[in-house]
Structure 1
Amino acid sequence: MKNNAKEAIVKAAISLFHANGYSGTSIRDIASLAKVNTATIAYHFNNKTGLLEYCFMYFFEKYIGKMEEIYASIDRGAKDCLKRIVANLLHYQCENNQLTSFVYREMSVDSQVVREIMSTYSLKEKYYFQKIFERGFEWNEFRPHSIPYLIIQLKGLLMMPFMNTHYMREVLYVFPNEPFFEQKYLKDIHFWIDKTLCTDIPINKGAIIK
């Protein structure tokens, strides 16, 4: 029952944080939607800040885990690795649309919780993207570019639909939670990788295998 209550609290919090924002949601609101009392929330998360931290950690632990899993096979090629990571991250975000949207929205607000997240998970994300780009340059898969700007551009492509869902609807006539969106948008990001990053120099596969 305790685990069920915890899951219900997290589900309710994600829904309300997404709809009303963190500051616009009270513990009583969450308790009411989750059908628990406020003491149960205090037992599992201490307070609303603790619940927010949990949601951040839940999101980013899985997010970084997906990067780590695919990066382990970087020797298959930098381009292949980057495309597979992008596909996994986009799928994860689409599957968890509400959580993704509210996390990114709250990440734009300067707070102690956000600074702590930035100092851990964001640095890990940057590390993996940087290593992929460096390998791509080393193996002549990618044209030389400024790595910081590549990271910013790619991160922008991954975040934008979930931070500006209504704008995406106006431009693409589709919301990120619709199945067609993921399929179409992934093709567009892969096109960006092919045309912005990739070089026409033949790749020596033997040099990639360690």
Structure 2
Amino acid sequence: MKQETFNLTKEKIIQSAISLFNTNGFTGTSVRAIAKKAGVNVAHISYYFNGKTGLMEYLVSDFYEGYLNAMDGAILADLDKSPVSRLTRLVFNILSYQHERRQLTRFVYREITLDTMLIREVMSTYMLKEKFLLASLLEEGMGDGSLNKIPIGHFIVQLKGMLTMPFLQPQYIAEVLYLQPHEDYFVKQYFHELESWMISLLTPKKEAIL
């Protein structure tokens, strides 16, 4: 019973923080506001997260742990498939993961635009692993001739931009692609947009079938 109460209190704090950080920003949100929204004592935030900064660190780290698990899941599930099949599966997994956690995704992507010690640590750990996984797939495909030889770094930057934009600038996606990122259909339709782009760019014309 105590463990259930512990988990419930912690989850209330997390969800309240995500909501307030998105509405008021990290600096504009007080510990008291989080506690009030969660219906808990301020001391609980110190106990579980060692304050507001610790709470933010938890949210960013937890987001990227799940993000990389989604990437790993795509790669491990399709080891017998072609690099382009694994890459498209990976992209679908990332989109699904982000869409299920839209508020958290938006908060994290806004925070990583800031130059802080935490963000530099994230850039040197989680994001380097993301780059490694993507580059490995691309290098494998280019090595066996199933993918066109393109600048890997440029492709990763383009792909990353396309994966983050719906959550940072949903109004732009709505204006250009007529898709609403908050709707349930979004992942499937936006994935098809990305899949078409990746296949046209990466796949040799004579092998344009997965």
TM bucket (normalised to shorter chain) is over 0.9
3-state SS, counterpart of residue 29 of structure 2: coil
Q: How does 1:117-136 map to 2 (within 5 A)?
A: 117-136=122-141
Q: What is the aligned-residue RMSD (CA, Å)?
A: 1.6
* Alpha-carbon distance in structure 1 between the residues aligned to 2:184 and 2:140: 33
3-state SS, counterpart of residue 141 of structure 1: coil
Aligned to 1:200: 205
Amino acid at match of 2:175: E
- Whether the 8 Å CA contact 1:95–1:177 is kept in 2: the answer is no
Matched, 1:40 2:50: no
Deviation, 1:201, is 4.2
With the length of structure 2 as denominator, give the TM-score of the two structures. Answer: 0.92
Identity rate, percent: 42
**Aligned match for 2:119, one of 114, 130, 145:** 114
Aligned to 1:56: 60
Query: Gaps spanning 5+ residues in structure 1: where?
Result: 204-210
With the length of structure 1 as denominator, give the TM-score of the two structures. Answer: 0.92
- Whether the 8 Å CA contact 1:175–1:181 is kept in 2: the answer is yes
Aligned to 2:11: 7
**Aligned match for 1:147, one of 145, 152, 173:** 152
Aligned to 1:161: 166
**Aligned match for 2:34, one of 24, 30, 34:** 30
**Aligned match for 2:91, one of 86, 100, 105:** 86
- Whether the 8 Å CA contact 1:140–1:201 is kept in 2: the answer is no
Aligned to 1:185: 190
Deviation, 1:202, is 4.5
1:96-126, Cα deviation, whole Å (9 max, x unpaired):
1000011001110111111111111000000
Deviation, 1:141, is 1.6
> What stretches of structure 1 move > 4 A for 4+ residues in a row?
none
Amino acid at match of 1:66: A
